Amino acid sequence: MQHEHIQLHAQQLHRALRDALPIPPLTGRVQGINIEAAYAISEALLQYRLEEGEKIVGRKIGLTSAAVQKMLGVDQPDFGTLTDAMAYEDGAAISLAGMIAPRAEGEIAFILGHDLVGPGITAHDVLAATESLAACFEIVDSRIANWKIAIADTVADNASASAFVLGKSRVPVAGIDLGTCGMVVEKNGEVISTGAGAAALGSPTNCVAWLANTLGRFGIGLRAGEVILSGALVPLVDVAPGDTMRVRISGIGSAQVKFT
Protein backbone atom coordinates (compact mmCIF):
# COMPACT_ATOMS: atom_id res chain seq x y z
CA MET A 1 0.00 0.00 0.00
CA GLN A 2 1.35 3.41 -0.95
CA HIS A 3 2.39 5.90 1.75
CA GLU A 4 -0.30 8.44 0.87
CA HIS A 5 -3.01 5.80 1.21
CA ILE A 6 -1.65 4.71 4.60
CA GLN A 7 -1.77 8.32 5.77
CA LEU A 8 -5.29 8.81 4.41
CA HIS A 9 -6.72 5.84 6.32
CA ALA A 10 -4.82 6.80 9.47
CA GLN A 11 -6.35 10.28 9.23
CA GLN A 12 -9.82 8.77 8.88
CA LEU A 13 -9.32 6.62 11.97
CA HIS A 14 -7.87 9.54 13.90
CA ARG A 15 -10.88 11.68 13.05
CA ALA A 16 -13.21 8.85 14.08
CA LEU A 17 -11.35 8.60 17.38
CA ARG A 18 -11.52 12.31 18.12
CA ASP A 19 -15.10 12.85 16.92
CA ALA A 20 -16.49 9.52 18.22
CA LEU A 21 -18.01 8.92 14.79
CA PRO A 22 -17.31 5.49 13.28
CA ILE A 23 -16.18 4.80 9.75
CA PRO A 24 -17.08 1.86 7.47
CA PRO A 25 -14.80 -1.19 7.63
CA LEU A 26 -11.55 -0.86 5.73
CA THR A 27 -11.79 -4.50 4.68
CA GLY A 28 -13.69 -4.80 1.44
CA ARG A 29 -13.33 -1.16 0.42
CA VAL A 30 -9.57 -0.55 0.68
CA GLN A 31 -7.40 -2.16 -1.96
CA GLY A 32 -4.31 -3.90 -0.64
CA ILE A 33 -5.39 -3.95 3.03
CA ASN A 34 -3.56 -6.89 4.58
CA ILE A 35 -2.10 -7.25 8.08
CA GLU A 36 1.19 -5.60 7.11
CA ALA A 37 -0.60 -2.58 5.64
CA ALA A 38 -2.90 -2.45 8.65
CA TYR A 39 0.05 -2.23 11.04
CA ALA A 40 1.48 0.58 8.92
CA ILE A 41 -1.83 2.44 9.25
CA SER A 42 -1.83 1.82 13.01
CA GLU A 43 1.70 3.22 13.29
CA ALA A 44 0.69 6.33 11.34
CA LEU A 45 -2.35 6.72 13.61
CA LEU A 46 -0.06 6.51 16.65
CA GLN A 47 2.17 9.25 15.23
CA TYR A 48 -0.81 11.62 15.06
CA ARG A 49 -1.48 10.97 18.75
CA LEU A 50 2.15 11.45 19.72
CA GLU A 51 2.22 14.75 17.83
CA GLU A 52 -0.72 15.84 19.98
CA GLY A 53 1.39 15.25 23.12
CA GLU A 54 0.46 11.72 24.14
CA LYS A 55 3.26 9.46 25.40
CA ILE A 56 3.68 5.71 25.01
CA VAL A 57 3.28 3.87 28.34
CA GLY A 58 2.93 0.29 27.13
CA ARG A 59 1.37 -2.18 24.73
CA LYS A 60 -1.70 -4.38 24.56
CA ILE A 61 -2.18 -7.83 23.10
CA GLY A 62 -5.47 -8.85 21.53
CA LEU A 63 -7.00 -11.89 19.85
CA THR A 64 -5.42 -14.30 22.35
CA SER A 65 -8.55 -16.46 22.52
CA ALA A 66 -8.77 -19.41 20.13
CA ALA A 67 -12.50 -18.76 19.70
CA VAL A 68 -11.97 -15.14 18.66
CA GLN A 69 -9.13 -16.10 16.31
CA LYS A 70 -11.42 -18.62 14.64
CA MET A 71 -14.17 -16.03 14.35
CA LEU A 72 -11.85 -13.62 12.52
CA GLY A 73 -10.10 -16.32 10.51
CA VAL A 74 -6.61 -15.68 11.92
CA ASP A 75 -4.00 -17.85 13.60
CA GLN A 76 -2.17 -15.24 15.66
CA PRO A 77 -2.84 -12.44 18.15
CA ASP A 78 -2.49 -8.75 17.35
CA PHE A 79 -1.13 -5.78 19.27
CA GLY A 80 -1.72 -2.10 19.91
CA THR A 81 -0.06 0.76 21.77
CA LEU A 82 -1.08 2.27 25.11
CA THR A 83 -0.60 5.97 25.79
CA ASP A 84 -0.83 8.04 28.95
CA ALA A 85 -4.15 9.47 27.76
CA MET A 86 -5.64 5.97 28.01
CA ALA A 87 -4.48 5.22 31.59
CA TYR A 88 -6.80 5.36 34.63
CA GLU A 89 -6.27 4.53 38.29
CA ASP A 90 -8.15 1.88 40.25
CA GLY A 91 -11.69 3.00 41.05
CA ALA A 92 -11.73 5.69 38.38
CA ALA A 93 -14.91 7.01 36.81
CA ILE A 94 -14.50 6.88 33.03
CA SER A 95 -16.71 8.99 30.82
CA LEU A 96 -18.06 7.13 27.80
CA ALA A 97 -19.08 10.34 26.08
CA GLY A 98 -16.09 10.22 23.76
CA MET A 99 -16.48 6.54 22.86
CA ILE A 100 -18.59 4.81 20.24
CA ALA A 101 -19.42 1.25 21.34
CA PRO A 102 -17.27 0.47 24.39
CA ARG A 103 -16.70 -2.96 25.86
CA ALA A 104 -14.67 -4.08 28.90
CA GLU A 105 -12.57 -7.15 29.55
CA GLY A 106 -10.54 -8.41 32.50
CA GLU A 107 -6.82 -9.00 32.03
CA ILE A 108 -3.51 -9.49 33.82
CA ALA A 109 -1.12 -6.56 33.39
CA PHE A 110 2.66 -7.03 33.41
CA ILE A 111 4.78 -4.10 34.61
CA LEU A 112 8.27 -4.55 33.23
CA GLY A 113 11.40 -4.04 35.30
CA HIS A 114 13.76 -4.75 32.42
CA ASP A 115 13.68 -4.37 28.64
CA LEU A 116 12.46 -7.24 26.47
CA VAL A 117 13.77 -7.14 22.92
CA GLY A 118 12.98 -9.95 20.50
CA PRO A 119 13.45 -12.16 18.66
CA GLY A 120 14.20 -15.19 20.79
CA ILE A 121 12.24 -14.13 23.89
CA THR A 122 10.84 -17.04 25.92
CA ALA A 123 8.22 -17.23 28.65
CA HIS A 124 11.11 -17.57 31.12
CA ASP A 125 12.58 -14.31 29.83
CA VAL A 126 9.23 -12.61 30.35
CA LEU A 127 9.07 -13.72 33.98
CA ALA A 128 12.65 -12.58 34.59
CA ALA A 129 11.90 -9.13 33.13
CA THR A 130 8.62 -8.60 35.00
CA GLU A 131 8.76 -6.31 38.01
CA SER A 132 5.17 -6.91 39.09
CA LEU A 133 1.67 -7.97 38.07
CA ALA A 134 -1.64 -6.17 38.48
CA ALA A 135 -5.31 -6.82 37.85
CA CYS A 136 -6.60 -4.78 34.97
CA PHE A 137 -9.62 -3.76 32.97
CA GLU A 138 -9.14 -2.91 29.33
CA ILE A 139 -11.86 -0.88 27.65
CA VAL A 140 -11.96 -1.46 23.92
CA ASP A 141 -13.90 0.63 21.43
CA SER A 142 -13.97 0.07 17.70
CA ARG A 143 -13.80 3.06 15.42
CA ILE A 144 -15.18 0.72 12.79
CA ALA A 145 -18.98 0.95 12.54
CA ASN A 146 -20.96 -1.67 14.47
CA TRP A 147 -17.83 -3.70 15.32
CA LYS A 148 -17.92 -5.13 11.79
CA ILE A 149 -14.23 -5.96 11.94
CA ALA A 150 -11.90 -8.35 10.22
CA ILE A 151 -8.32 -8.72 11.39
CA ALA A 152 -7.03 -5.86 9.23
CA ASP A 153 -9.70 -3.50 10.59
CA THR A 154 -8.86 -3.99 14.25
CA VAL A 155 -5.10 -3.97 13.60
CA ALA A 156 -5.33 -0.63 11.76
CA ASP A 157 -7.50 0.71 14.61
CA ASN A 158 -4.75 0.16 17.21
CA ALA A 159 -6.23 -3.21 18.15
CA SER A 160 -9.44 -1.39 19.18
CA ALA A 161 -7.68 0.00 22.28
CA SER A 162 -9.39 2.81 24.18
CA ALA A 163 -8.55 2.86 27.91
CA PHE A 164 -7.25 0.73 30.75
CA VAL A 165 -7.53 0.64 34.53
CA LEU A 166 -4.84 -0.90 36.75
CA GLY A 167 -5.58 -2.22 40.22
CA LYS A 168 -3.70 -0.75 43.18
CA SER A 169 -1.95 -3.99 44.15
CA ARG A 170 1.39 -4.80 42.55
CA VAL A 171 2.60 -8.31 43.26
CA PRO A 172 5.85 -10.01 42.28
CA VAL A 173 5.55 -12.74 39.69
CA ALA A 174 7.34 -15.30 41.88
CA GLY A 175 4.89 -17.85 43.26
CA ILE A 176 2.05 -16.97 40.85
CA ASP A 177 0.91 -19.77 38.55
CA LEU A 178 -0.18 -17.66 35.63
CA GLY A 179 -1.70 -20.60 33.78
CA THR A 180 -4.14 -21.55 36.52
CA CYS A 181 -4.80 -18.31 38.41
CA GLY A 182 -8.53 -17.63 38.41
CA MET A 183 -10.41 -14.49 37.41
CA VAL A 184 -13.88 -13.35 38.46
CA VAL A 185 -15.59 -10.38 36.82
CA GLU A 186 -18.58 -8.60 38.34
CA LYS A 187 -20.88 -6.08 36.70
CA ASN A 188 -23.21 -4.01 38.85
CA GLY A 189 -22.60 -6.36 41.77
CA GLU A 190 -23.29 -9.64 39.94
CA VAL A 191 -20.76 -12.19 38.74
CA ILE A 192 -20.92 -12.28 34.94
CA SER A 193 -17.87 -14.37 33.99
CA THR A 194 -14.98 -16.41 35.27
CA GLY A 195 -11.75 -17.46 33.62
CA ALA A 196 -8.17 -18.56 34.12
CA GLY A 197 -4.76 -17.61 32.80
CA ALA A 198 -4.69 -20.54 30.39
CA ALA A 199 -7.37 -18.79 28.29
CA ALA A 200 -4.64 -16.55 26.87
CA LEU A 201 -2.45 -18.78 24.67
CA GLY A 202 -2.01 -21.23 27.53
CA SER A 203 -0.51 -18.57 29.81
CA PRO A 204 -0.26 -14.76 29.73
CA THR A 205 3.53 -15.13 29.69
CA ASN A 206 3.24 -16.75 26.26
CA CYS A 207 1.32 -13.70 25.07
CA VAL A 208 4.00 -11.27 26.26
CA ALA A 209 6.74 -13.41 24.70
CA TRP A 210 4.81 -13.40 21.40
CA LEU A 211 4.53 -9.61 21.59
CA ALA A 212 8.23 -9.08 22.29
CA ASN A 213 9.21 -11.34 19.40
CA THR A 214 6.69 -9.81 17.00
CA LEU A 215 7.72 -6.24 17.85
CA GLY A 216 11.34 -7.31 17.49
CA ARG A 217 10.70 -7.95 13.81
CA PHE A 218 9.66 -4.28 13.53
CA GLY A 219 12.79 -3.16 15.39
CA ILE A 220 10.77 -2.24 18.49
CA GLY A 221 11.49 -3.38 22.05
CA LEU A 222 9.39 -3.52 25.19
CA ARG A 223 10.93 -1.15 27.72
CA ALA A 224 11.38 -1.17 31.49
CA GLY A 225 8.46 0.58 33.17
CA GLU A 226 6.00 -0.18 30.40
CA VAL A 227 2.63 -1.78 31.09
CA ILE A 228 1.78 -4.81 28.99
CA LEU A 229 -1.86 -5.93 28.85
CA SER A 230 -1.59 -9.64 28.19
CA GLY A 231 -5.02 -10.46 26.74
CA ALA A 232 -8.53 -11.15 27.92
CA LEU A 233 -9.27 -14.15 30.13
CA VAL A 234 -13.04 -13.66 29.98
CA PRO A 235 -15.53 -12.54 27.29
CA LEU A 236 -15.96 -8.90 26.36
CA VAL A 237 -18.99 -7.18 27.85
CA ASP A 238 -20.78 -4.04 26.67
CA VAL A 239 -20.73 -1.13 29.10
CA ALA A 240 -22.94 1.93 29.46
CA PRO A 241 -23.11 5.00 31.71
CA GLY A 242 -24.00 3.97 35.27
CA ASP A 243 -22.32 0.55 35.08
CA THR A 244 -19.73 -0.46 37.66
CA MET A 245 -17.33 -3.36 37.22
CA ARG A 246 -14.87 -5.25 39.38
CA VAL A 247 -12.28 -7.88 38.45
CA ARG A 248 -10.57 -10.16 40.99
CA ILE A 249 -7.58 -12.36 40.13
CA SER A 250 -6.39 -14.96 42.60
CA GLY A 251 -3.00 -14.11 44.07
CA ILE A 252 -2.79 -10.81 42.18
CA GLY A 253 -5.55 -8.47 43.35
CA SER A 254 -8.50 -6.57 42.00
CA ALA A 255 -9.46 -3.51 39.93
CA GLN A 256 -12.66 -1.49 39.87
CA VAL A 257 -14.12 1.02 37.44
CA LYS A 258 -17.29 3.06 37.06
CA PHE A 259 -18.64 4.34 33.77
CA THR A 260 -20.39 7.69 33.46
pLDDT tens digits for 164-175?
A: 999 999 999 998
Residue-level pLDDT at 190: 98
Task: Give the pLDDT confidence of 8-56 residue by residue, as tens digits.
Answer: 999 999 999 999 999 999 998 988 899 999 999 999 999 999 999 999 9
Distance CA 142, CA 153 (A): 9
Q: Is the pLDDT of residue 157 over 80?
A: yes
Please name every residue paired with 62 in a beta bridge, in sequence order, or none if there are none: 78
Nearest-angstrom CA–CA distance, 86 and 139: 9
If pLDDT is split at 50, 70 and 90, which confidence band does 184 have?
Answer: very high
Instruction: Kindly tell me if the per-residue pLDDT of 147 is higher than 70.
Output: yes
CB 234 within 8 A of CB 136: no
- Residue 180, domain CATH: 3.90.850.10
Contact status, residue 210 vs residue 116, Cβ threshold 8 Å: no
Residue 32's pLDDT is: 82
Residue 238: the pLDDT is 96
* Structural domains of the chain, count: 1
How do residues 78-88 score in pLDDT, each as one tens digit? 999 999 999 99
pLDDT for position 72: 64
What pLDDT digit, counting tens, does each position of 87-112 carry?
A: 999 999 999 999 999 999 999 999 99
Q: Give pLDDT, residue 43.
A: 96
**What's the whole-number average pLDDT of the chain?**
94
pLDDT (0 to 100) of residue 71: 63
- pLDDT tier, 67 (very low <50, low <70, confident <90, very high otherwise): low
The CA distance from 151 to 139, in Å, is 18
Residue range(s) defining the domain that contains residue 105: 3-259
Residue 151 predicted with pLDDT over 70: yes
Instruction: Please write the tens of the pLDDT for every residue from 118-129.
Output: 999 999 999 999
**C-alpha span between 110 and 129 (Å, rounded):** 9
Taking the C-alpha atoms of residue 1 and residue 65, their distance in angstroms, rounded to an integer, is: 29
Residue 68 has pLDDT above 80, yes or no: no
CB 221 within 8 A of CB 116: yes
Q: pTM, whole model, 2 decimals?
A: 0.95
Helix %, strand %, coil % of the chain (to 5): 30, 30, 35
